[in-house]
Structure 1
Amino acid sequence: MPEPPEPRFVMSPDGLRIATYAFGDPLADPVLLVHGFASSAHANWNLTGWIRDLERAGRRVVAVDLRGHGASDKPHHPESYSMDLLAADLFAVCDTYLLDEVAYAGYSLGGRVGWHATHLQPERFPRAVLGGIPDGTPLTRFRIDLAREHAATGAPIDDRITAAYVQMAGQTPGNDLLALVDLVEGMRPGPQPTAQNAPSIPLLLATGSEDGILEASQRLAAAAPRAEFFEIPGRNHFNAPTSRDFREAAIRFLS
């Protein structure tokens, strides 16, 4: 896979630099790509073939490193990671790139932010693919206390789920574990996906057949007025973005 281009930075409403990456014909129909927790635009979308296949399908791609990730700024304050601020970053990206309407594709954290953003401003997003999101509070089993102690002292983590996320965070170059822990703490009290705040636009929700949140994701799709559901065969939460079946289903839906 090609290396990503140098990021183009967009200023967030609260003064942070948000890294973005543009691919394809600037005049083609655009797609906004938003990655998952502890990942990046390059890891989630470039290395897995999504950007290549979207370009082949004739789409312009704008990919984002969420605050706290990739080349974007990484503040060490939980209050810097509210769901409203995460969504506002995406609106700023759309405004900077002059995207009046843009299709949306997000995975895990990016899907959760997409649920909120497309609910707040449905006129911007004609349709959206939201992968790997359940109803309810995110990362409920992530032990913030254990992750903070590990980051500060290197203490081992005896909680399997927390250890898996911390290990994943360490595999992406440039990650800042303390910033990611602040993100989890900051976004937990905010609005969570429910039937009451379901986006009104057409949605494709997708979750791996081996993912523990599968049934919760199916419930969430049933709660949205214009949602379809796609079960990603043979994939869990961590490797679902690599699925060709998922990519093809998403591109068909966005087309």
Structure 2
Amino acid sequence: MGELPVPLFTSRGHTLSFETHGSGEPVLCIHGFASSGKVNWLDTGWVETLTEAGYCAITLDNLGHGESESSHEPEDYTPQAMAADAVALLDHLGIERAALLGYSMGARISAFLAFEHPERVPCAVFGGMGMNLINGLADGNEIIAGLLAPSLDYVTGPTARQFRIFAEHTKSDRQALAACMETSRAPMARADVRRIDVPVLVAVGEQDVMAGYPEELAQLLPQGEAVVIPRRDHMRATGDKVFKAATLDFLARHWPAV
């Protein structure tokens, strides 16, 4: 027997990929830059963790990532646009409300979604995203140059090399990722962060230099909490057991499994 076809839906004229796992209260998992639903959530054990806890884990491949269609137009990758894709997926599945679990770029998308559609979001987890939700990403231009360089040999900056290697490992469309990096890192206004009035857990690795401080962001959020993931940097915090345990505790208080 061949593999089952990947589930698809359409948003903003683009065909995007998703998967659902388990049953129970839905948790929409939104992956980070240059990643995918599989890499960010399946391979790290998150889907298993959520389904065993009694949740339905929904993984989305953002535009330009994973099995989803690509675009080389930067305007297609604003956080607001990708948040609209996530809402379109909930609509496609007939889901009125879902907890959000976002990592890095996925956390930024989750923040814009929670701000614009609080009625759809009982609670949210911002992983790998602290105060840089407001401050933006300082080395984005370096990452873009690294993605578009003829080969890895031309990429010298450590962060740019990290993302170039990751993009090659995931066999990503590097031109699409460069377009995504141009606009997806748009900062959220401090005043808008203060208006995200749903419970939010901000979880950042202790050695994560890309995310910014979690405690400071949590203090701005009306219902914010912070957790520091010990001895983890941006890449290694994703599937950490402390992150998972804190998330399950948070969900149990704000979106209990049935």
TM-score under structure 2 normalisation?
0.89
1:235 matched to 2:232 = yes
Q: 1:144–1:45: structure 2 CA closer, same or farther, 3 Å change rule?
A: closer
Give the 5 Å matches for 1:118-197.
118-135=114-131, 136-142=134-140, 143=142, 146-147=145-146, 149-150=148-149, 152=150, 156-172=154-170, 174-188=171-185, 190-192=186-188, 194-197=190-193
Deviations 1:155-206 (A, max 9, x none): 511222211111111121x311111010011224x45263433411000000
The one-letter amino acid of 2:174's match is L
SS of the residue 1:241 aligns to: coil
Give the CA deviation at 1:148.
Answer: 5.2
**Which amino acid in the other structure matches residue 93 of structure 1?**
L
Please list the CA deviations of residues 31-60 of structure 1 after superposition, one character each: whole Å capped at 9, or x if unmatched: 100111111111111111110011111111
Q: Percent identity?
A: 31
Q: Residues 209 and 233 of structure 1 are in contact (CA less than 8 Å); yes or no, is this contact kept in structure 2?
A: yes
Shift in Å at residue 91 of structure 1? 0.6
Offset at residue 146 of structure 1 (A) = 2.3
1:23 is aligned to 21
Cα deviation for residue 134 of structure 1 reads 2.8
| 1:219, distance to aligned residue in structure 2 (A) | 1.3
Aligned residue identity for 2:45: G
Q: Judge conservation of contact 2:201–2:227 (CA < 8 Å) in 1.
A: yes
Q: Do 1:208 and 1:233's aligned partners in 2 also have CA atoms closer than 8 Å?
A: yes
CA gap of 1:5–1:54, structure 2 versus 1, over 3 A, is farther
Structure 2 residue runs without a partner (length 5+): 253-258
- How many correspondences in the alignment? 246
For residues 145 and 65 of structure 1, the distance between their equivalents in structure 2, rounded to whole angstroms, comes to: 20
Which residue, out of 99, 109, 115, partners 1:113?
109
Please say which of residues 174-183 and 199-208 is displaced more in the overlay: 174-183
Alignment of 1:220 onto 2:217: yes
User: Does the CA-based 8 Å contact 2:103-2:127 persist in structure 1?
Assistant: yes
Partners of 2:220 and 2:79 in 1: how far apart? 20
Q: Structure 1 CA distance, aligned partners of 2:92 and 2:104?
A: 25
Tell me, yes or no, if structure 1 residue 84 matches structure 2 residue 80.
yes
Distance across 1 between alignment mates of 2:91 and 2:79: 19
Whether the aligned pair in 2 keeps the contact of 1:107 and 1:132 (CA below 8 Å) is yes
Match of 1:60 in 2: 56
Taking only aligned residues, the RMSD between alpha carbons, in angstroms, comes to 1.9
- SS state of the match for residue 240, structure 1? coil
Change over 3 Å in CA distance of 1:116–1:107 after alignment to 2: same
- 1:205–1:153 distance in 2 versus 1, CA, 3 Å: closer
**Cα pair 1:20 1:62 within 8 Å, conserved:** yes
User: Cα gap change, 1:54/1:79 in structure 2, threshold over 3 Å: closer, same or farther?
Assistant: same
Quick check: 1:134–1:193 contact (8 Å CA) kept in 2?
no
